[in-house]
Amino acid sequence: MKPVKIGFLGFGTVGQGAATVLTRNAAEISRRIGQDIVVKSASVRNLDRKLDPLLGEVELTQDSESIVNDPDIDVIVEVMGGDEPARTLLLAAIANGKHVVTANKALVACHGADIFEAAREHGVSVAFEAAVAGGIPVIKSIREGLAGNKIQWVAGIINGTCNYILTEMLQKGREFEDVLEEAKALGYAEADPTFDIEGIDAAHKLTILASIAFGVPLQFEAVHIEGISSITREDTAYAQELGYRIKHLGMAIDTGNGIELRVHPTLIPERRLIANVDGVMNAVLIQADAVGPTLYYGAGAGAEPTGSSVVADIMDVVRVATASVDNRVPTLAFQHDALIDTQSIKSADFQTSYYLRILAEDKPGVMAEISRVLADEAISIEAIVQKEPVDDSGKLPIVLLTKRIAEGSMNNAITKLESLSAIEGNVTRIRMETLAGS
Amino acid sequence: MKPVKIGFLGFGTVGQGAATVLTRNAAEISRRIGQDIVVKSASVRNLDRKLDPLLGEVELTQDSESIVNDPDIDVIVEVMGGDEPARTLLLAAIANGKHVVTANKALVACHGADIFEAAREHGVSVAFEAAVAGGIPVIKSIREGLAGNKIQWVAGIINGTCNYILTEMLQKGREFEDVLEEAKALGYAEADPTFDIEGIDAAHKLTILASIAFGVPLQFEAVHIEGISSITREDTAYAQELGYRIKHLGMAIDTGNGIELRVHPTLIPERRLIANVDGVMNAVLIQADAVGPTLYYGAGAGAEPTGSSVVADIMDVVRVATASVDNRVPTLAFQHDALIDTQSIKSADFQTSYYLRILAEDKPGVMAEISRVLADEAISIEAIVQKEPVDDSGKLPIVLLTKRIAEGSMNNAITKLESLSAIEGNVTRIRMETLAGS
């Protein structure tokens, strides 16, 4: 049988990682799939770049169009990142009848609908396991492994940079900025880490997870997004004293009245397995009606872990090429005409519990004022801890845990709290989820 | 499109669980797969049994052969358990051109080769996700999600009864027998719990995992099997004091010189995520060359969790029915003619570290005698702890952790230790694994 030929658009960390895995494990892969898979060519910005000798046979070009137009290439792997020219090149490849594998989460989250429609028209597959949680086969697990279930919610640690920073803040008592600088130096964080620490990257991934979990259209713009830059090392320590860990979670919840899509720091009970996922590792916890909770853990980034998912996608795409198009696993898990445009719930209507940290003057009556504001919004207090002063200002940090309440009520309460003369600066608010049953 | 019709062989807990999921989630399943799936009939021992009203349309019969011979049935689900008549019925179904889904781990582990060969001859699929780790899609993850990897080892908590008993012994200080009786009453353990607590059930599952991880034939007879009945609550407590948890693991290790297949209680560092998988839950940790460690966690048993895997298999089987046989995912992950009969390593050659518990007289020179025996077998000691007496005998428990050594050397050392006059009874030996990198 003639080998399957692959062309890469972009050949950076992930591209070379995937090509290395394909080449090093060629015999093993051929034993599994019954065909040889060969990397034919890759487009790069700079032709002088040095490659691992293992990749010596790969033809390099600066002309990406020559790859998508090469009749000898069966599958295109897009690992350029960004919107353009990735989108235009993928559409051209699809129009040429090529199957497509991409690791580009932003592209899938924001332009997936167009790309998938083009793929349907041309009878080709689009696969994107590497776009979410790196090497963890979570797209496959949701789309196929849990296909018999009605999924109730998904909660994922899906940005390794955020998880690394929060882990270091807790375990070593380090400041946010200090860890961030180190993460950049170690290559965990990009030179411009905004996408990671402000939650944009996690929101792209959550958009994809929510679509395949619930059978709803991709709707990045509906995600409520918060990053981790407002979390202090004191917050991580106070949370631990109360039996919780702070994790940056992407959550998609089918409430029955609509879908909550949210990315934010979250207190979760330390006894949950996912609370113990530390460092750069990722994990996705899924609650579904038949199976209950399942969790998928592994590396969320890196050359070969992400390459592992790219290679699995290539093998899937090659395998199902002989199946009738209607019988392939649907791109977004549900048949394209069976997506339901379920309403996204506005953040003011999110229901959750809260951790609040308030810096208050050390004088009588302050606690009474705070309690009254919360009571006026019907917010019940679960626990209150008054902490030692952290500086010489004489102000005391007060940490409160509340019961579940609509976010709109909490917004009102925080506005009122911040206007109290005895309270200094902003109230820090971190949402809290029990992830019950997991 | 005409609905896909399913016939069940056996309709106990798992069968009814799967049928309930198929029926309750029929609309969701149809949105995913684009076809309706209907449970037509099921064979039962007793026709008077009461079913959930949801399953009112299912035709019950005592004649299993009528189901495998029904031309109207597309897919047979075998959930009878045991060797016969399950094996004969499945072979008959396959000969009739029907696809087959089974949750029967013993059957797959011991008779899989014959069944898979028959399926190849007749061009039908055999799927068995539900045979390992209940609702966790770990077969799919290894066979497809990690298909680009060379898998180095697999370590799984794959028997919920053992995990429940060990968790209770540690967390509540209860005795083995006491927890076992309770597990029977709660339905976690069978009336005859031998298969669970002696490790047979885990060995069946490990046989399947090893085959699809490494591309080797199913070889149940090569598994070294130990259960948990020799573990005391003191062992679980001593291990915790030393920073470990005792878990009953199935391990398959590709050493480069052959494959170690072993099922036994194991000390693992408490900081590993898998060490924190408690109660009846299952988890499988996989170390692979490209992706590194990944872990899959969820319910390992129960009606609907296991049913979830059965339904996913049915959907897979229906989906790939139009793909050419050569392009389907191979039953054992590798092409049937690409399995390599790699040598299984004998237990005497296993390399691991050990926890030893020795009951010794409280007199001078005992520790010197023990140390000399170990030194004679070139066994290095990592840690020694002398514990308080547990009874009035005056004997002291001594707990030792050793460095890695061949099991044959440890066997010799234990024989000599047990012959020392200062040592009472048997030496308890529990293997220890770092599961490094996870």
- A142-170 per-position pLDDT tens digit: 999 999 999 999 999 999 999 999 999 99
Per-residue pLDDT at B241? 95
How far is C-alpha A437 from the geometric centre of its chain's CA atoms? 22
Question: Which residues in chain A are contacts of B293 at CB distance < 8 A?
Answer: 297-299
Picking from B157, B268, B276, B319 by the largest number of A CB atoms within 10 A of its own CB, the best residue to mutate is B319
Number of H helices, E strands in chain A: 14, 17
Kindly report, residue by residue over A195-226, the tens digit of the pLDDT.
999 999 999 999 999 999 999 999 999 999 99
Please name the amino acid found at residue A2. K
Q: Does B320 touch chain A (CB under 8 A)?
A: yes
Both tokens of B225, joined, read 């099997």
Distance CA A135, CA B145 (A): 9
> Which of B146, B299, B333 faces A312 most closely, judged by CB atoms?
B146
* Per annotation, catalytic residue among B98, B105, B140, B205: B205
Residue B374 CB neighbour total at 10 angstroms:
23
Q: Does A200 touch chain B (CB under 8 A)?
A: no
Instruction: Please report the beta strands in B229-373, taking only residues with DSSP state E, as ranges in sequence order.
Output: 244-254, 259-269, 281-288, 292-299, 351-360
> Which of B33, B297, B328 faces A295 most closely, judged by CB atoms?
B297
Structure-derived torsion over alpha carbons of residues B92, B95, B101, B103, reported in degrees to the nearest 10: 40
Domains of chain B by range and CATH? 4-134+304-336 (3.40.50.720), 138-300 (3.30.360.10), 348-432 (3.30.70.260)
CB contact (8 A) between residue B21 and residue A148: yes
Element (H, E) at A141: none
Distance CA B156, CA B195 (A): 17
Question: Which residues in chain B are contacts of A277 at CB distance < 8 A?
Answer: 273
What is the layout of strands, in order, in the sheet containing A4-9?
Answer: A59-61, A37-43, A4-9, A75-78, A99-102, A126-127
| Residue ranges, chain B, pLDDT below 50 | none
Q: Is B168 helix (H, G, I), strand (E, B) or coil?
A: helix
Q: Is B429 helix (H, G, I), strand (E, B) or coil?
A: strand
Kindly report, residue by residue over A68-124, the tens digit of the pLDDT.
999 999 999 999 999 999 999 999 999 999 999 999 999 999 999 999 999 999 999
Q: Is B40 helix (H, G, I), strand (E, B) or coil?
A: strand
Q: Chain B closest CA to A263's CA: distance in Å? A: 23
Q: Does B338 touch chain A (CB under 8 A)?
A: yes
Q: Does A54 touch chain B (CB under 8 A)?
A: no
Per-residue pLDDT at A94? 98
CB contact (8 A) between residue A290 and residue B25: yes
Residue B242 CB neighbour total at 10 angstroms:
17
Distance CA A119, CA A97 (A): 8
Distance CA A70, CA A387 (A): 66
Model confidence at A437: pLDDT above 80 = no
Question: Which residues partner with B153 through β-bridges?
Answer: B253, B287
What is the pLDDT of chain A when averaged over all its residues?
95
CB contact (8 A) between residue A34 and residue B330: yes
Per-residue pLDDT at A40? 98
Kindly report, residue by residue over B321-336, the tens digit of the pLDDT.
888 888 889 999 999 9
Q: pLDDT class for A394, splitting at 50, 70, 90?
A: confident
Chain A (2-21) residues lying within 8 Å, Cβ to Cβ, of chain B: 17, 21
Q: Is A170 helix (H, G, I), strand (E, B) or coil?
A: helix
Picking from A129, A149, A277, A315 by the largest number of B CB atoms within 10 A of its own CB, the best residue to mutate is A149
> Which of A291, A310, A338 faces B305 most closely, judged by CB atoms?
A291
Q: Between B333 and A324, where is the model more confident?
A: B333
The closest alpha carbon to B324, from A33, A39, A95, belongs to A33
Supply the angle between the helices A200-214 and A105-122 in degrees, to the nearest 10: 40
List all residues 6 or more positions away from A38 whose beta carbon is below 8 Å from its beta carbon. A3, A4, A5, A6, A22, A57
Please name the amino acid found at residue A65. E
> Which of A33, A136, A144 faces B316 most closely, judged by CB atoms?
A144
pTM, entire model: 0.96
Question: Which residues in chain B are contacts of A276 at CB distance < 8 A?
Answer: 273, 276
Both tokens of A173, joined, read 């008592």
Alpha helices in B123-199 (DSSP H): 138-140, 160-172, 176-186, 194-197
CB contact (8 A) between residue B145 and residue A150: no
* Per annotation, catalytic residue among A40, A98, A105, A205: A205
Average pLDDT over residues A355-381: 94
Distance CA B205, CA B262 (A): 11
Active site annotation includes A40: no
Q: Between B438 and A228, where is the model more confident?
A: A228
Place of tokens 């917050």: A235
What is the layout of strands, in order, in the sheet containing B75-78?
Answer: B59-61, B37-43, B4-9, B75-78, B99-102, B126-127
Question: Which residues in chain A are contacts of B327 at CB distance < 8 A?
Answer: 318-323
CB contact (8 A) between residue A25 and residue B148: yes
Q: Does B363 touch chain A (CB under 8 A)?
A: no
Alpha helices in B252-333 (DSSP H): 303-320
Per-residue pLDDT at B320? 86
Q: Are B210 and B160 in contact (CB under 8 A)?
A: no
Cα–Cα distances in angstroms (integers) from residue B365 to residues A233, A269, B371, B375, B428, in the given order: 52, 49, 10, 15, 21
CB contact (8 A) between residue B145 and residue A312: yes
Q: Between A308 and B190, where is the model more confident?
A: A308
List all residues 6 or more positions away from B27 whose beta carbon is below 8 Å from its beta carbon. none
Residue A383 CB neighbour total at 10 angstroms:
11
Residue of B nearest to A32 (CA): B334
CB contact (8 A) between residue A147 and residue B335: no
Both tokens of B143, joined, read 């066979």
CB contact (8 A) between residue B22 and residue A148: yes
> Which of B144, B322, B335 faces A140 most closely, judged by CB atoms?
B144
Place of tokens 């090429």: A321
Q: Does A128 touch chain B (CB under 8 A)?
A: no
Question: Which residues in chain A are contacts of B315 at CB distance < 8 A?
Answer: 144, 147-148
Alpha helices in A226-351 (DSSP H): 233-241, 303-320
Cα–Cα distances in angstroms (integers) from residue B94 to residues A311, A320, B113, B119, B320, in the given order: 32, 23, 14, 6, 16
CB contact (8 A) between residue A327 and residue B328: no
Q: Does A293 touch chain B (CB under 8 A)?
A: yes
Q: pLDDT class for A364, splitting at 50, 70, 90?
A: confident
Kindly report, residue by residue over A246-278, the tens digit of the pLDDT.
999 999 999 999 999 999 999 999 999 999 999
Q: Chain A closest CA to B422's CA: distance in Å? A: 43
Q: Does A252 touch chain B (CB under 8 A)?
A: no
Model confidence at A177: pLDDT above 90 = yes
Say if strands B59-61 and B37-43 run parallel, antiparallel, or are unpaired: parallel
Residue B307 CB neighbour total at 10 angstroms:
30
Number of H helices, E strands in chain B: 14, 17
CB contact (8 A) between residue A308 and residue B320: no
CB contact (8 A) between residue B290 and residue A304: yes
Phi and psi based region of residue B97 (left: phi greater than 0; alpha: psi -120 to 50; beta: remaining): left
Per-residue pLDDT at A436? 84
Distance CA A63, CA A70 (A): 11
Distance CA A404, CA B172 (A): 32
Kindly report, residue by residue over A26-35, the tens digit of the pLDDT.
999 999 999 9
Per-residue pLDDT at A189? 78
> Which of B28, B149, B312 faces A25 most closely, judged by CB atoms?
B149
Alpha helices in A332-430 (DSSP H): 366-376, 407-419
Give the up-direction half-sphere exposure of residue B30: CA atoms within 13 A in the CB hemisphere.
13
Backbone phi, then psi, for A345, in 5-degree steps?
A: -80, 135
Per-residue pLDDT at A312? 98
Both tokens of B427, joined, read 């030496």
The three-point CA angle B252-B311-B195 to 5° equals: 40
Kindly report, residue by residue over A41-53, the tens digit of the pLDDT.
999 999 988 899 9
CB contact (8 A) between residue A148 and residue B312: yes
